[in-house]
A and B are shown apart, each in its own frame.
Chain A
Amino acid sequence: MASILSTDSENIMQPKNKLSSILEWGTLVGSTILVCFFLLVILWEIFSKGSSVITWEFIRSLPTEGMTKGGILTPIIGTVMLTLLTALFSIPFGVCCAIYLNEYAESNWLTRLIRASIRNLSGVPSIIYGLFGLALFVQGLQLGTSLLAAGLTLGLLSLPYIITTTEEALLRIPNSTREAALAVGATKFETIKDIVLPSSMSGILTGVVLTLSRAAGETAPILFTGAAFYINQTSVSVNQEFMALPYHLYMLSTQHQSIDEVRPIAYGTALVLVIVVFLMNLTAFYIRYTYRQHEK
């Protein structure tokens, strides 16, 4: 950092020779290529070694024989249910809070305090959300280690992101739109419900899908709130433990007693997880893109 900011003795007016300008340009291009290279290595490793593992059989069968054989249906179902629960808790709460901040809140100390705590919450490490979930939901509210406790924990973790992205979407609606509705006699709530929310829906959805894709890949918050090593059934209930894709990958690559034997399954799990997350991101980009086209 210091070397970039410091001024050196070279004369700023001196014409540069070609070699040094290539070197200078190369530094920037080089770092950009290296960053892209990181992504390529990650994707190449996961896709080349995971794609041979993924078959229809792998997706739809249960883990068997101490998870050395079989598929990953149980963790897939667990992750889907967990993400749905997260959505169920965080969306209504987050959207309502964003509506309060953008439509109702006056510019006073309380509003500033709420905004500051939202910024704070988004910086809190995910493992601390895990501890909070353990203390509040698992032990405090006696929910035990369960799908419900983990879903609530991930819901809290997602909250600041949902609020921030929803507020950005609400901000894009011009005030004249609200005033037009109020002028024809709609109450403030009716204006929000019938005019503001529908016209900012795509922006809200984009933020929601991106946030949920993040939640689907989280591991630390579910470590102590309900993720299980192994479950031998696919039926899910909110008050029982569950298997989840990220936790399954963590467990297969560090905790399993025959790590080398399950390595192919770990690659397959990683690939499915990456595909799920990328598909959710693509959905978000698609919503944003069609909305922008529509707007033009």
Chain B
Amino acid sequence: MRYSARRSLDRVFKYVFKVTGLLVLLLLGAILAMLIYNSVAFFVDVRPLDFITGLEWNPTGDNPKYGILPLVLSTTLVTVGAMLIAIPLGIGTAAFIAEYARPGLKNILKPTVEMLAAIPSVVIGFLGIVVVGPGIAHAADLANGLNALNGAILLAIMALPTIITVAEDAIHAVPKTYKEASYGVGATKWQTLRKIVIPAAAPGIIAAVMLGVGRAIGETMTVLMATGNASLLPTGMFASVKTMTATIAIEMGEVPYQTTHYFALYAIATVLFIMTLAANMLGEYFINRFRKYHAA
């Protein structure tokens, strides 16, 4: 090939690569534009205050009600329940893998966690119907086990791989000298773990939890299949709940195009987007803090 041809090919591809980079920016912009446009269309029909503080979600009634609170509370309840299970289990497992497991055992445990992460959410949801649901119904003597507790258990399983991986990295990154100093003054391994290693890794562990929260809030299929989907204000862990993601998944298939109800589902998506974004940004903030702290 002639030199000038090679030069122009070089220049053409430089722009091709740059355009793909800009397109990614455009993609996020387009998602934001879609959410904002449809939410604004919704707020033309329904007052924002009624949406945010409304206690009833009943868009198909004679007098349609678009209160998002039951959905937000359902999502919060299931997510908090999931974290109560996943945080102690995740940190315990991460500490075991990072501090106690021998290399041979580590080589088994890490792929195990990755396998858990690889299982599709719809399969976990199916397990909620055939294993966890009947189990809860039997243990608590209920007619069926499709409730917030079921969703919380499944979301805990889904968030665990994220929490374990990130928390293990954080514990692993704590400098050896910290531990040696602690052993040097006579502390046991457990005392060192609790009083030195975990506090030193705390920003990384908090980041792990926030990323797990982000994953749990945005998860659709497991909660859709396992929580019973009654759009009422949740009354407890044994109540049937309908999360924001499940509401979108169920109702988007049924609504006519560009009606108030249709726009309402995009307004829910906007709230969902803000909640996951907040969780992920907090997680990122703590990861950066952890990196800065240990680089210094």
Contacts and interface: CB of A to CB of B under 8 A. Distances in A.
Interface of A: 1, 4-5, 7, 12-13, 16, 21, 24-25, 27-32, 34-36, 38-39, 41-42, 45-46, 93, 96-97, 99-101, 103-105, 113-114, 117-121, 123-128, 130-132, 134-136, 139, 156, 159-160, 163, 187-190, 192, 213-214, 216-220, 223-224, 246-247, 249-250, 253-254, 263, 266, 270, 273-274, 277-278, 281, 285
A45 B127 contact: yes
A135 B221 contact: no
Interface residues of B, number: 92
Interface stretch (B54-62, B63-71, B137-145, B249-257): B249-257
A97 B115 contact: no
Q: Which 6 A-B pairs have the closest CB atoms?
A: A217-B120, A125-B218, A31-B92, A100-B17, A123-B280, A187-B10
A250 B6 contact: no
Contacts of B16: 96
B23 A93 contact: yes
Contacts of B280: 119-120, 123
Contacts of B14: 104, 188-189
Contacts of A188: 10, 14
A121 B24 contact: yes
A23 to B, nearest CB: 9
- Interface of B, secondary structure class, is helix
B137 to A, nearest CB: 16
B28 interface: yes
Contact of A128 (B88, B97, B195, B272): B272
B45 interface: no
Contact of A254 (B90, B91, B129, B187): B129
B31 A128 contact: yes
Contacts, number: 250
Nearest to B153: A38
A123 B89 contact: no
B173 interface: no
Interface string B122-143: 1111110111000000000000
Nearest to B29: A117
23 contacts: A36-B109, A39-B119, A96-B20, A97-B17, A114-B21, A119-B284, A124-B273, A125-B272, A127-B220, A130-B249, A131-B265, A135-B34, A135-B38, A187-B6, A187-B7, A189-B9, A190-B10, A219-B220, A250-B122, A266-B126, A270-B123, A273-B123, A274-B123
Given A125-B217, A278-B118, 7 more contacts: A31-B93, A34-B89, A38-B157, A46-B123, A97-B17, A117-B25, A254-B225
A25 B100 contact: yes
A263 B129 CA distance: 11
B190 A277 contact: no
B138 to A, nearest CB: 16
